[in-house]
Structure 1
């Protein structure tokens, strides 16, 4: 019994989180983090500057108060301090400082009044005994005696603030006549900090929102090819032979490259599917005939032929002949499969084209003495091409064997090998039946024969030229055919030249220099 937990139909799909939202949130968080770091640095710098400014103002206020009060020789009292710090509140009996006048008009130009007018600054004057004689505002602070200027960060009320303390020495006698204590509650700083934080919060939220929207729009734009790929794959899954493709984007970037590669991959897949179907059909067709022949002979022998020695011998001979042809067909199909994978097994193999061409020419002269073979070798020195030796030899054998098959009337075959600046050119010419123009494009197809009725008598299964084409193209070469019906055909093959060997230099020396040793046959 199937466990529901293991049944894929019963498993609940995980909640899908779209890549567009991931991209949008990623962009939003990324920009928000950058903005937050920038805001923190800016806020810290602003706070430091404001704190330094507040401390400087506090020291200036203490200095100004001391300069106003240190011209007295007696201990400071409320009556002696008030005219200097608050002349607008002094009575007619109080002394008036030099160069100062009574009245409210003077308070707007008096620097000490301006300092004291700040709502977060409190000036307190103490006599030498520590008793308070004057306070600009009512604020509870603890008095501390000091012999020099002392500025510290302390708690003032419910907030942090600065407290500065300094003794007041008489200018005439030099003795301490009192103390000044200036308290700054940093109200302006805290207010500015609050406003700045509010601005940062608003700008941060705005940046997060805008970057998220822009990230989402960019994600939608950039993911259009991916979405199109997904839709195309769905269509192809439903209909493998569909010609549906992704529209080429009007841009030149990585996504355009991906789209083009995807379309190329689909084209190759469709070609492979078509080739596979064609291959299966061709193989089925080719195997159907020998199987039917063998089956017919076996049925005949089973019914009555086994009692007739002549019929028995004839049936066994015909069956063995068909079995041999099927073995040949299977071997050629294996060769074709290997030809399609040579770039995997032999990526760096090299061969002397001149040597192999002369060897194949000599072998065919030996095994077909009834033919006239002609070799035009225009290579003056050994010439190296990038191909595995056995594969190059196999290509030449296929072309020479094909020429022999179709040159029964005029038994003559020409082999030529030459070169230009870049390529080695090999041509194999026969003087047989030739190929009709409408059939030239199909001679490299699997199992194709120009004359199916007569080709079976000549042997072969129509795979040789297809194998040769796959081998040539796998090593980045080219193969083509020229023919006139009734006058024979010329097969031309070309391969890029790696190097021309110097006198005394061998192919093994070149392989050792370049490190391009042929890979053993898998």
Structure 2
């Protein structure tokens, strides 16, 4: 079983990012709540210190003993300190009795009329918020600082609240982490599963299982990649099938002339003929089969060069009427020998086309030879004309025609209209394939229309171009 390495890596990345984000968020929330509690606690101690100081400063102020009791009710500790820094009276925790939080420098500041704020930690580890204010009274018409009032509030409740909040954050973080872990596993699995399918499919394709296809329908890059792999597999399969068919066809096409060459040469070598005339007939067969074999090899070589893009074209502005006249002149005798009429209908004012004159003549000759080969009686006509958008050449015959279901295959290599009569009609089965390639290399198109028993029509089209331009 293949390990989901992509899924694991993706999962690790997502989890790492989540942990970093969760840690930053946890620290931020902790700082926010801690600062909030600290600020609230400090404000509360300040308010209590101000309240007790005002009570102590009023003319009908309660006694120090009453203020100490008020402090006990408020869960705070208060200290009365004179100018020398000695504690006159206090209330609250015993651990504060040593008054180690009182410093002479702070006393001077307080007796100058200012407020002191500080944090104090006792020997037992308890923390306190401390606010110290001056107690001002009227003496002989003047305001004088009589003593310093220290108010201390324990941060125990605040610390307990912060610890509880931190526990809640930790538990929430663990829960969020476990939830994220599950979601990450699902997301990583969903994202990596198509990649694993592609990996398996490409390995199958690599070992020759070209029928392999991916069933991934998505409108994203993964879907595009899957579609590209399917297209590649389809192209490779078509190439393999085409190659196998080509090898089978070429083997068949070569076997027949080689059999004739071998058989008749053996007859002549062993003098198995009766007369000189019979020997000449055998020699004629050998000559025809040798020509047929040479023609086949030439056609294969030319088609191979065209498919590899190695064929060179001498492109120039050419007059198709001249090209057609030359082709018709060369085929006139062959058509006459079969009793066929070869007629032309050429619009000699037709625009010139940008192409290779010799290759265009080769195309026209291929079409005319094809018509002569498959027409027993009637006529072959060739027409040249143009429309507003293209120039066209039509080669039409009254031959055996082509069945509708076979029309899509007429331009394939080694295609034969009537395989049972292929020896009678001759040809290599490559002429139309070569013609189509040559027309397309020159920027044109070729079409076929046919009715079985009535004849066939081939039409070549070239788009109208302004002479002196390029295609």
Q: TM-score range by the shorter chain?
A: 0.7 to 0.9
- The answer for the alignment partner of 1:151 in structure 2 is 117
User: Gapped runs of 5+ residues in structure 2?
Assistant: 336-341
1:180 corresponds to 2:145: no
- The answer for the alignment partner of 1:129 in structure 2 is 84
Shift of 1:273: 1.8
- The answer for the alignment partner of 2:100 in structure 1 is 141
Q: Confirm or deny: 8 A CA contact 2:115 2:131 kept in the other structure.
A: yes
1:198 corresponds to 2:167: yes
Q: Confirm or deny: 8 A CA contact 2:127 2:156 kept in the other structure.
A: no
- The answer for the alignment partner of 1:434 in structure 2 is 401
Shift of 1:490: 0.9
Q: 1:264 to 1:70 in 2, by over 3 A?
A: same
Corresponding residue SS for 1:403: helix
1:57 corresponds to 2:44: yes
Q: Confirm or deny: 8 A CA contact 2:331 2:369 kept in the other structure.
A: no
Partners of 2:358 and 2:22 lie apart in 1 by 67
Q: 1:84 to 1:184 in 2, by over 3 A?
A: closer
Shift of 1:285: 1.7
Corresponding residue SS for 1:57: helix
Partners of 1:314 and 1:441 lie apart in 2 by 39
Deviations 1:432-491 (A, max 9, x none): 343345644443332122355765676642122234456778999865432234432112
Deviations 1:6-26 (A, max 9, x none): xxxxxxx9x944434444444
Using structure 1 for the length normalisation, give the TM-score.
0.66
Q: 1:128 to 1:414 in 2, by over 3 A?
A: same
Partners of 1:375 and 1:213 lie apart in 2 by 80
Q: Paired residue for 2:246, among 261, 279, 284?
A: 279
Partners of 2:146 and 2:132 lie apart in 1 by 14
Deviations 1:314-343 (A, max 9, x none): 99997786565445434433443455456x
- The answer for the alignment partner of 2:344 in structure 1 is 374
Q: Confirm or deny: 8 A CA contact 1:29 1:208 kept in the other structure.
A: no
Using structure 2 for the length normalisation, give the TM-score.
0.72
Q: 1:272 to 1:70 in 2, by over 3 A?
A: same
Partners of 2:193 and 2:32 lie apart in 1 by 45
User: Gapped runs of 5+ residues in structure 1?
Assistant: 1-12, 88-111, 512-522
- The answer for the alignment partner of 1:41 in structure 2 is 28
Partners of 2:267 and 2:455 lie apart in 1 by 43
Partners of 1:288 and 1:484 lie apart in 2 by 32
- The answer for the alignment partner of 1:448 in structure 2 is 415
- The size of the alignment, in residue pairs, is 446
Give the alignment's Cα RMSD to 1 decimal.
4.9
Q: 1:441 to 1:168 in 2, by over 3 A?
A: same
Partners of 2:469 and 2:319 lie apart in 1 by 13
Corresponding residue SS for 1:466: helix
Shift of 1:377: 5.4
Q: Spell out the pairing of 1:253-268 with structure 2 (5 A cutoff).
A: 255=222, 258-268=225-235
Partners of 1:143 and 1:67 lie apart in 2 by 21
Q: 1:469 to 1:55 in 2, by over 3 A?
A: farther
Partners of 1:40 and 1:474 lie apart in 2 by 71
Q: Paired residue for 1:462, among 418, 429, 434?
A: 429
Corresponding residue SS for 2:432: helix
Corresponding residue SS for 1:507: coil
Report which stretch shifted further, 209-218 or 358-367: 358-367
Shift of 1:279: 0.7
Shift of 1:397: 5.6
Q: Which has the higher helix share?
A: 2
Q: Confirm or deny: 8 A CA contact 2:386 2:392 kept in the other structure.
A: yes
Q: 1:17 to 1:486 in 2, by over 3 A?
A: closer
Q: Spell out the pairing of 1:334-345 with structure 2 (5 A cutoff).
A: 334-340=301-307
Higher relative contact order (CA 8 A, sep 6+): 1
Q: 1:68 to 1:360 in 2, by over 3 A?
A: farther
1:84 corresponds to 2:67: yes
- The answer for the alignment partner of 2:56 in structure 1 is 69
Deviations 1:395-419 (A, max 9, x none): 5564355335445755533234545
Deviations 1:133-172 (A, max 9, x none): 3243333533222242233456555477644344333355
Corresponding residue SS for 1:39: helix
Q: 1:86 to 1:159 in 2, by over 3 A?
A: closer
Corresponding residue SS for 1:86: helix
Q: Spell out the pairing of 1:225-240 with structure 2 (5 A cutoff).
A: 225-226=194-195, 228-229=197-198, 240=209
